[in-house]
Copies of this chain bind each other. A is one copy, B any other.
Amino acid sequence: MKWVNVLGGIVGAAALLGLGIILGHFAIPKGSDVPTPSIFQDLDLEILESIMQQLDASRIRENLRELSREPHLASSPQDEALVQLLLQRWRDPESGLDSAEASTYEVLLSFPSREQPNRVAVVSPTGNVLFSCRQSEQNLTGEQGGPDVVPPYAAYAPPGTPQAVNTAKHGVAGVLVYTDPADINDGQSSTNETFPNSWRLPPSGVERGSYYEYFGDPLTPYLPANPSSFRLDPDTVSGFPPIPTQPIGFEDAKILLCNLQGASAPAAWQGALGCDYKLGPGFQPNGDFPADSQVNVSVYNRLELRNSSNVLGIIRGAVEPGERPVGAPGDSGPVPPRPPPPAPRPAGPTHLPPNRVSASLLPPPDRYVLYGNHRDSWVHGAVDPSSGTAVLLELSRVLGTLLKKGTWRPRRSIVFASWGAEEFGLIGSTEFTEEFFSKLQERAVAYINVDISVFANATLRAQGTPPVQSVIFAASKQIPAPSLGGLSIYDNWIRYFNRSSPVYGLVPSLGSLGAGSDYAPFIHFLGISSMDIAYTYDRSKTSARIYPTYHTAFDTFGYVDKFVDPGFSSHQAVARTAGSVLLRLSDSLFLPLNVSDYGETLRSFLQAAQQNLGVLLEQHSISLVPLVTAVEKFEGAAGALDQRISALQKATPDPLQVRMLNDQLMLLERTFLNPRAFPEERYYSHVLWAPRTGSVATFPGLANACSRAMNTSLGSPAWAEVQRQLSILVVALEGAAATLRPVADF
């Protein structure tokens, strides 16, 4: 998992500002939600339940142990060894998939130099080193040493050796970044309060991360990073940090920060290092360093073209979306007569008699449900990402076993993916979407992402676009929450995250998708309905912005086994939830994508626009009426579609009718894409989920244009852009509504 996590500060005495920013970053976003109508449950619940039972916590634990045994930084030999592990699992004759392949891209990564380690030091005016920050984390469990533990660094930060106190008010020479115990450890910082004595971050822990602004391989935007692809000159790439940057632990940050002089930093910037944070410039007269000391930062990061692999494992779908009754022969002969009495509608997925119909005789399926996670980590990455991969492997084992036994095959194809180089900027997944753009846009039903599967063991947490809400609700209602005496995951979830839906009443609150993991290119670039599923915190027990050892060398198997999820029951719960969602999407006759739930989002965005921007827009003679009309048309068309689905489900649906309907459901998300809406926002073309600046929870193009126009005069180009964004939105919503109407009405 990759966070955008720049904590900026000015190198030198006043280096460590910007602390409060992180808190805002990790506030949980709001989404929209709904309980699944039962009409979508026509997959085989017996098979589903059996799969749920077979998903085994102890096997997930063993997977995790194996996956996180060695540090496996993207493109390292250990990363490559995991590629082989995945291929071996997915090609296993007893529990493998139909096929599995690795594909490799040549991508631009960034590494610290082995020969010249990055360094942060306090130096005297004569150049004597008075103090040096740690260059690696303390080896507390025997796992933090050795050549494969990459020292802390800020990937893609340029090399350089800035040295300064905070004299140049407006010329920042370098950036130091640390994680404050107030933000990550609920204020605790001593050795006996932190790992290995608790789950908290030890004083020497340093959070690594990528500081690249966009995602995808930096040299090949919009093009797959194949060896022959056009590459930008690295010197001209935009989105890299402009100045040297280095992360340090709070142990070292305390020494720098608590010795600063000057005015106090704002209250929101204060932390738990046990001193009053000052803004500088310069060190206190009576502190650890002479007042005229400076901070010297030496960064020797290097850009390198490296091979990074994705691994894809395929289960071919049996038929999509029609029916193939038990005992029906294959397709090589003439169409057989149907049994004289109308066959009852088959209750579930293609439940094939063993060895009766071989996969090769089945009609080729052209609808894909994708399920992925990245494989690369910063160090051992037991939580991030191996907790997700451990779940992925257990899920693929259970499904692969059924497949090899010949007792099950999904209606639609399932594509499992293990992405490379996510930590550097969602690179493997982005390159994949660039390479298979057309195929995926035509045929992908949904993308399920399970990156960190367990942040903590309190509750489910899901993010996604509105059409996936219903299927996550349906799945989570059928699965017991761990250790809660039969309470369902859904009923537990609603205790932690909930909202009042105008349509459904109190429901769990689904978060919206940013760009924190590999779902980003799927939803923002391709318009494929996507989701991210995990188990997470009880916020009454911790305010840590993320699990404390995130991106450090302390994120190890032992950490998970002892502190995050002893017994692995939360991992199992995620495996069951994501597995059930996967099965429902791949096996249901009618796609369980409830597109009418988009109406609730549109309505709430509209209301926010009316309440917060309406007066301002009116002052500039910009009317929201066309937007109101467009939202109403969408709601009308979606409601009518729901009724048609109900009617069709009560009747005996014709396979082509189902196909046409499912195409409407699958493609709805695509209709919100407009590659010309925000040309400056690389990859972002979904008019509802592009990045939004400002606080009004409304349509991002409108919100951003309004922010920019706010202080310009009547009739400025910025106000014209507001009107243009409004029109783009209206056209997208009207176009979306048009695709939901009965197809014969043109």
Using a CB–CB cutoff of 8 Å, the interface residues on chain A facing chain B are 220, 222-224, 226, 228-230, 233, 312, 314, 316-317, 319-322, 331-343, 363-366, 368, 413, 415, 434-439, 442-443, 623, 625-626, 651-652, 654-657, 659-660, 663-664, 667, 670-671, 675-676, 679, 720, 723-724, 726-728, 730-731, 734-736, 738-739, 742-744, 746
Contact = CB atoms under 8 A, between A and B. Distances in A.
A337 B341 CA distance: 6
A688 to B, nearest CB: 14
Contacts of A442: 663, 667, 670, 739
B368 A746 contact: yes
B727 A317 contact: no
Nearest to A721: B230
B676 A230 contact: no
B657 A331 contact: yes
A643 B623 CA distance: 56
Contacts of A439: 735, 738-739, 746
A656 B328 CA distance: 15
Nearest to A731: B223
Contacts of A671: 438
A-B pairs, top 8 by smallest CB distance, nearest first, are A366-B743, A230-B727, A228-B626, A438-B671, A364-B744, A334-B342, A334-B652, A230-B724
B230 A437 contact: no
A363 B660 contact: yes
28 contacts: A220-B727, A223-B724, A223-B727, A223-B731, A228-B623, A229-B730, A230-B723, A312-B746, A314-B744, A316-B744, A317-B744, A319-B656, A335-B654, A337-B338, A337-B339, A363-B654, A363-B656, A364-B744, A365-B660, A365-B744, A366-B660, A366-B664, A435-B734, A438-B670, A438-B735, A442-B663, A442-B667, A655-B655
Contacts of A364: 657, 660, 742-744
Given A438-B735, A735-B436, A656 B320 contact: yes
Contacts of A652: 333-335
A739 B336 CA distance: 30
Contact of A746 (B228, B314, B321): B314
Nearest to A312: B746
A259 to B, nearest CB: 49
Contacts of A333: 651-652
A228 B727 contact: yes
B437 A735 contact: yes
A626 B229 CA distance: 9
A443 B743 contact: yes
Nearest to A223: B727
Contacts of A438: 667, 670-671, 735-736, 738-739
A504 to B, nearest CB: 28
Given A230-B726, A413-B744, 11 more contacts: A223-B731, A228-B623, A228-B625, A228-B626, A229-B727, A230-B720, A335-B652, A365-B660, A436-B735, A438-B739, A656-B659
A286 to B, nearest CB: 57
Contacts of A670: 438, 442
A226 B623 CA distance: 14
A339 B623 CA distance: 60
